[in-house]
Amino acid sequence: MKGTTAVVRYNAGNIQSVRFALGRLGVEPVVTDDPAALRSADRVIFPGVGEASSAMRYLRERGLDTVIRGLEQPVLGICLGLQLLCASSEENDTECLGVFDERVLRFPPRDKVPHMGWNSISGLSGPLFDGVDEGSHVYFVHGYYATTGPTTTALGEYMVPFSAGLSRANVHAVQFHPEKSGDVGARILSNFLAL
């Protein structure tokens, strides 16, 4: 956990709860939208709660889309952060960052949307989930979901199976909120901080 942890500040960030969760782990992050600070951090967290097209517009206006795509240190996307790292989102027909090839789709409107509350994750793989039991419960709030594919590292299910975790090279992402997921979430954040 040495070095600096930066949290991307933008108009859809769920920053306070992430800061508090990191603080409980003994980490005081730098919250910034400065490209140089993001590039020089030892790891970067890309949180998010909100709407995809306005978030992407904000990122593009400040050149943060290019910065995030070019980061070489460990990166963790959370919730909307995961969705923005995908190729595209049905939410207002948004082209996203394209780090992952998965597409983001709206849940079928035949049940309660958004998917909100505790749900289990399965098919766990990769370093984020070291020491996390299969079937562990984590906290979700989302009306859109990422499709599954070769970069899926955790599965969730709500009407349809979806990617609860994605990973490619240095970039990892989770659809759920580890900062609100108790001991399981703390373990996942600790695993990320150790990368």
CB under 8 Å to 108, separation ≥6 — which residues?
159, 160
For domain 5-193, the CATH class is alpha beta
Q: Which amino acid is at 31?
A: V
Residue 179 annotated as catalytic: yes
| Stretch 87-114: mean pLDDT | 92
pLDDT value of position 24: 96
Residue 69 pairs in a beta bridge with none
Q: What is the pLDDT of residues 41-97, one digit of tens each?
A: 999 999 998 899 999 999 999 999 999 999 999 999 999 999 999 999 999 999 999
The pLDDT score that the predictor gives to residue 54 is 94
Query: 32 is written with which tokens?
Result: 């910034």
Confidence of residue 1 (pLDDT cuts 50, 70, 90): low
Does residue 104 carry a pLDDT above 90? yes
Beta partners for 156? 162
Listed in sequence order, the residues at least 6 apart from 178 whose beta carbon sits closer than 8 Å to its beta carbon are: 21, 78, 138, 184, 185, 186, 188, 189
CA 42 vs CA 1, 110, 178, 194: distances in Å: 9, 43, 20, 11
96 is an active site residue: no
**Quick one: pLDDT band at residue 7, thresholds 50, 70, 90?**
very high
Separation between Cα atoms, residue 146 and residue 149, nearest integer Å? 9
- pLDDT, residue 32, reads 95
Task: Yes or no: say if 74 and 195 are a contact pair by the CB < 8 Å rule.
Answer: yes
* For residues 117-121, average pLDDT: 98
**pTM over 0.75, yes/no:** yes
Read off the pLDDT of residues 147-181 as tens digits, 9 standing for 90 and up: 999 999 999 999 999 999 999 999 999 999 999 99
SS3 state of residue 193: helix
User: 2 pLDDT band (50/70/90 cuts)?
Assistant: confident
What mean pLDDT value characterizes the chain? Answer: 95
H helices within the chain, ranges in order?
15-24, 35-40, 52-61, 64-70, 80-84, 182-193
Q: Which of 51, 61, 79, 90 is catalytic?
A: 79
Strand partners, 154: 165
Q: How far apart are CA 19 and CA 140, in angstroms?
A: 18
